[in-house]
């Protein structure tokens, strides 16, 4: 595997990350996901979102101009794909750690991310803690592979090559029809009381359903659930 020459690049987080906020650009063509991700990041005092892009070309332009510490880059983007945007950013020797954000983890795509000079990848279904850990690891100059940091890229790729990374879960993630109704209501912004009234059940029953839904989806709060549902097409709109 021929890795890009990064000798002219400053490793992400080399000096400026000790005391300053981690500056992030978010690039995703889905407005709801992009806004939700921005809100999640800015709720943490370690991060500051300095730019947003809705396509690959805009992502390249923003990163070239703003030189953030981290770019969270959607793999599938209009105008310019995530891979092509990554290639252009690395070629421009911008000192930004690029983390590719993927819907489904495909080994060939992940290998290509690293081959082109990306610093890591995260799945859109990752828990918030894993995403934040990945951002901090890359900002500190490490590589991030889904759930863990690697100081050495060769070790990361060797681990990836040995692992089975395809997701075999069913599309509904084991959610019952009633649970899918509640997911849909959460996405549209209904409170527990409104959901209970709409479905003619008690608020306590709604809370019980939400606990089960969070477990099945691997999320920890309503915002994460809404983002998860949108990304996996569990609801329309």
Q: What is the pTM of this model?
A: 0.60
CATH 1.10.10.10 intervals, the chain: 177-231
- Residue 161 pLDDT grade (very low, low, confident, very high; cuts 50, 70, 90): low
Is residue 174 pLDDT above 60, yes or no?
yes
pLDDT (mean) for 49-76: 95
From the list 36, 55, 190, 29, the residue with the least C-alpha distance to 128 is 36
CATH 3.40.50.2300 intervals, the chain: 22-162
Check: CB of residue 43 under 8 Å from CB of residue 81: no
Structure tokens given for 148? 């863990």
Which helix or strand (DSSP H or E) is residue 99 part of?
A: strand 97-102
The 10s digit of each residue's pLDDT in 200-228 is 999 999 999 999 999 888 888 888 888 78
pLDDT (mean) for 126-154: 84
Topology adopted by domain 22-162:
Rossmann fold (3.40.50)
Which class in CATH covers the domain with range 177-231?
Answer: mainly alpha
């Amino acid at each position: 595997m021929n890795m890009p020459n990064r000798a002219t690049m400053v490793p992400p987080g080399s000096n400026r990350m000790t005391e300053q906020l981690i500056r992030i650009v978010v690039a995703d063509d889905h407005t709801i996901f992009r806004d939700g991700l921005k809100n999640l990041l800015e709720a943490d005092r370690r991060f500051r979102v300095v730019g947003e892009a809705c396509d690959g070309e805009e992502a390249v332009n923003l990163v070239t101009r703003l030189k953030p510490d981290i770019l969270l880059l959607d793999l599938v983007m209009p105008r310019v794909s995530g891979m092509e945007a990554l290639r252009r950013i690395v070629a421009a020797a911008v000192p930004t750690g690029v983390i590719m954000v993927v819907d489904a983890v495909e080994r060939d795509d992940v290998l290509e991310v690293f081959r082109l000079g990306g610093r890591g990848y995260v799945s859109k279904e990752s828990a918030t803690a894993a995403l934040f850990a990945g951002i901090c690891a890359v900002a500190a100059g490490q590589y991030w592979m889904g759930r863990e940091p690697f100081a050495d890229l060769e070790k990361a790729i060797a681990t990836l090559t040995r692992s089975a990374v395809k997701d075999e879960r069913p599309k509904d993630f084991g959610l019952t029809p009633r649970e899918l109704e509640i997911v849909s209501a959460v996405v549209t912004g209904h409170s527990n009381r409104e959901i209970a009234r709409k479905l003619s059940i008690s608020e306590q029953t709604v809370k019980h359903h939400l606990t089960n839904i969070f477990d099945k989806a691997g999320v920890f709060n309503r915002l994460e659930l809404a983002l998860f549902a949108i990304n996996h097409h569990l609801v329309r709109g």
